[in-house]
Amino acid sequence: MLDIKFIKENPEAVKENLRKKFKEARLPLVDEAIALYEEKLAASKRGDELRANRNRLSKQIGGLMAKGQREEAEAVKAQVSAQADELAALQQKESTLQARLTEVLMKIPNMVDPSVPVGRNDEENVEVEQFGAQTDPGFEIPYHTDIMAKFNGIDKEAAGRVAGEGFYYLMGDIARLHSAVLAYARDFMIQKGFTYCIPPFMIRSNVVTGVMSFEEMDAMMYKIEGEDLYLIGTSEHSMIGKFIDTITPESSLPLTLTSYSPCFRKEKGAHGIEERGIYRIHQFEKQEMIVICKPEESMDWFHKMWRYSVELFRSLDIPVRTLECCTGDLADLKVKSYDVEAWSPKQKKYFEVCSCSNLGDAQARRLGIRVKGEDGKKYLAHTLNNTVVAPPRMLIAFLENNLSFDGEKYSVRIPEALRPYMGGTEVLTEK
């Protein structure tokens, strides 16, 4: 959410930002926000005048009563009463204007970084760099759920009976591999200096609207009926919410956290080959990284964070590439975002496994996350987040890139970095 004072001083820049994001339909919101703000200021100014006049008249009443001039005092009291009615109406008007202004501001996107390429959607994202060669094992790789089935590692049919589409049972070596990847990712981030956290898996509505746009909320979040609680779609939500209405000493920054959680998503509009298996599902587990820092340090942390993801995937022998999200593919709160994509030998293409985002002060403004500088002045922090690993997608990339076939049976090689988390196992063999 942008500062209304910034919008008032830079209306054309804000409108140009909307055009870059191909959200021309929202252009009238800029002028509406300014008009609401000015009307609210006028109401506030008139209210201040009335309050000052009330204080003056109250003193005048006391003086008149002291002199015995009751008739004159009653006339002044009538003025005070009339102005009290006007003041009450103004206070109600201010409240109504502020509610509408907040609603409008929530729909005006954050200013994207000047370095972000202009593009309409994800098809116009720009490749930054590739890491590792695109592998071709020389044999036909089965679909990822078929690979898991060869190791007695998945049961979607039973999950369908229990919970419906978009769920699964993981079992045996595949379930152990899933847990091993999460444990390895946890320790990988701890070694980078991040503090490990397990957050609440439900959050209140004021946190939801603080961390994401209304569009994202509608597409992702599950509401707990009868309560002001939502299931989290990623631990970023509750981890950023941890700092709601707080003031952190500047000397304590940056705050670097890595969190584990299950995630719950509606996944509206899912379609295509990736959605047949466990690429898009309603429930999964994830290791996340969160940074809260000074504004001047946020871009440095942005580049560190996505490189951590690349380093982790390469340590597991998975080729990846980094894509920069174009303006039209950026969510409303994001200043800049990179997707890290893993190579799929089966599909002969890359697919998203991590998303690294710098949100500037947008979340901090909505949630009241402030920093107290050494000079005593307070300012808004910058917030960033990035996926470490989300094992359903990670498992697809891992299995496809570490799969072998001897003409009769399939096996999966366990990279050296992961073996301690698999009890020393070097190879998984087909059941």
Please give the pLDDT value at position 392: 85
Predicted pLDDT at 93: 93
Question: Per-residue pLDDT averaged across 339-343, rounded?
Answer: 97
> What pLDDT shows up at residue 71?
72
Q: Kindly tell me if the per-residue pLDDT of 106 is higher than 90.
A: yes
Q: pLDDT (tens digit, 9 = 90+) per residue, 25-41?
A: 999 999 999 999 999 99
Residue 270 has pLDDT above 50, yes or no: no
Span 390-403, average pLDDT:
93
What pLDDT does 144 receive? 94
* Residues composing the chain: 431
Q: pLDDT-based confidence at 166, cuts 50/70/90?
A: confident
In Å, what is the CA distance from 278 to each residue of 31, 250, 342, 345? 45, 42, 15, 17
Helix or strand holding residue 369 (H, E): strand 369-372
Mean per-residue pLDDT for 327-345?
96
Joined together, the tokens standing for residue 167 give 């769920």
The rounded percent of the chain whose pLDDT value lies above 90 is 80
Task: With beta carbons less than 8 A apart as the criterion, state whether 398 and 343 touch.
Answer: no
Exposure string over 254-274, b if 16+ CB within 10 A, otherwise e: bbbbbbbbebbbeeeebeeeb
Overall average pLDDT of the 270-278 stretch: 54
Tens-digit pLDDT profile for residues 168-209? 999 999 999 999 999 999 999 999 999 999 999 999 999 999
Per-residue confidence (pLDDT) for residue 121, from 0 to 100: 95
Q: 281, 309 in Cβ contact below 8 A?
A: no
Helices 391-401 and 172-191: angle between axes, nearest 10 degrees = 110
Note the pLDDT of residue 73. 66
pTM, rounded to two decimals:
0.89
Kindly report which listed range (40-49, 246-255, 364-373) carries the lowest average pLDDT score.
40-49
pLDDT at 64: 66
- Tell me the average pLDDT across 14-18: 98
- The mean of the pLDDT values for the chain is 92
Q: What is the per-residue pLDDT across 137-163, written as a single tens digit (0 to 9) for each?
A: 999 999 999 999 999 999 999 999 999
pLDDT of residue 25: 97
- pLDDT confidence of 276, banded at 50, 70, 90? low
The region of weakest confidence among 79-88, 341-350, 364-373 is 79-88
- Predicted confidence at residue 122, as pLDDT, reads 94
In this predicted structure, what is the pLDDT of residue 272? 42
Contacts of 345 (CB under 8 A, 6+ apart): 134, 135, 136, 137, 141, 400, 401, 403
pLDDT over 70 percentage in the chain: 96
Q: Is pLDDT larger for residue 281 or for residue 39?
A: 39
**pLDDT score of 273 more than 60:** no
Residue 252 identity: S
Tens of pLDDT, residue by residue over 42-78, are: 999 988 888 877 777 777 767 767 677 777 766 767 7
Bridge-based pairing state of the strands 202-203 and 230-231: antiparallel
Q: Is the pLDDT of residue 269 over 80?
A: no
Domains of the chain plus CATH, in order, are 4-105 (1.10.287.40), 122-429 (3.30.930.10)
Q: What confidence score (pLDDT) does residue 72 get?
A: 75
Each residue's pLDDT tens digit, 211-237: 988 777 878 899 999 999 999 999 999
Contacts of 254 by beta carbon, 8 Å cutoff, 6+ apart: 291, 292, 293, 294, 297, 301
- pLDDT at residue number 86: 81
pLDDT value at position 75? 75
